[in-house]
Amino acid sequence: MSAPLQANTILILGDSISAAFGIDKAQGWVSLLDKKLSHQCEAITVKNASVSGETTAGGLSRLPSLLRETKPSLVVVELGGNDGLRGLSPKVMQQNLQRMIQLSKEAGARVVVLGIHIPSNFGAAYRTLFDQAYVNATQAEDVPLLPFLLSDVYEKPDMMQEDGIHPTASAQPILLTNAWQVMGVEVKKICPTLALAP
């Protein structure tokens, strides 16, 4: 049986961080990605299916229809933060992440995962299990992981909105640079003429 024909589409399956919560959507890192690629790879389409408040369970439930609709070449999973903020099971989160990776691969797409850290008030033991869920899922399925999408942003108050959870508009180019560390090589497989520098 031949693999399904893929569109040159990048599917972003994320939560409020990728849905540009609290800022103009055009300023969000996914929109900046779309603009970047539109100049260098006109054939690539970026589909942002991110929803504020989304958990890994919610993303998993929505993914099959999104895969059918978009037939993506690359799926970027940016989920887990809300699992952590709700104190949900890291083991279930890992299972959900692995299943999303598996479904994406079965649909013919490559996958990268963008991780997040949760605040220190959740306790060291839970935070360790939470971080390890990303590592376990991506290692088991052999896909790239960016451990912390908000690196170089979260510790800078002027880069974060008043809620202390969501980055500001000025932080979005840094988020794109961070995400590009794991996305760049995969996107270049879709668009060989792409410059790998962010």
Contact 46, 81 (CB under 8 A): no
Catalytic (active site) residue 39? no
Catalytic (active site) residue 16? yes
Contact 104, 62 (CB under 8 A): no
CA angle, residues 20, 147, 193, in degrees to nearest 5: 70
Q: Which of 38, 61, 166, 170 is catalytic?
A: 166
DSSP code per residue over 132-156: HHHHHHHHHHT--EES-TTTTTTT-
Contact 115, 143 (CB under 8 A): no
Catalytic (active site) residue 163? yes
Q: Which of 61, 152, 163, 170 is catalytic?
A: 163
Phi, psi at residue 156, to the nearest 5°?
A: -110, 105
Q: Which of 2, 15, 16, 83 is catalytic?
A: 16
**Which active-site residues does the annotation give?**
16, 163, 166
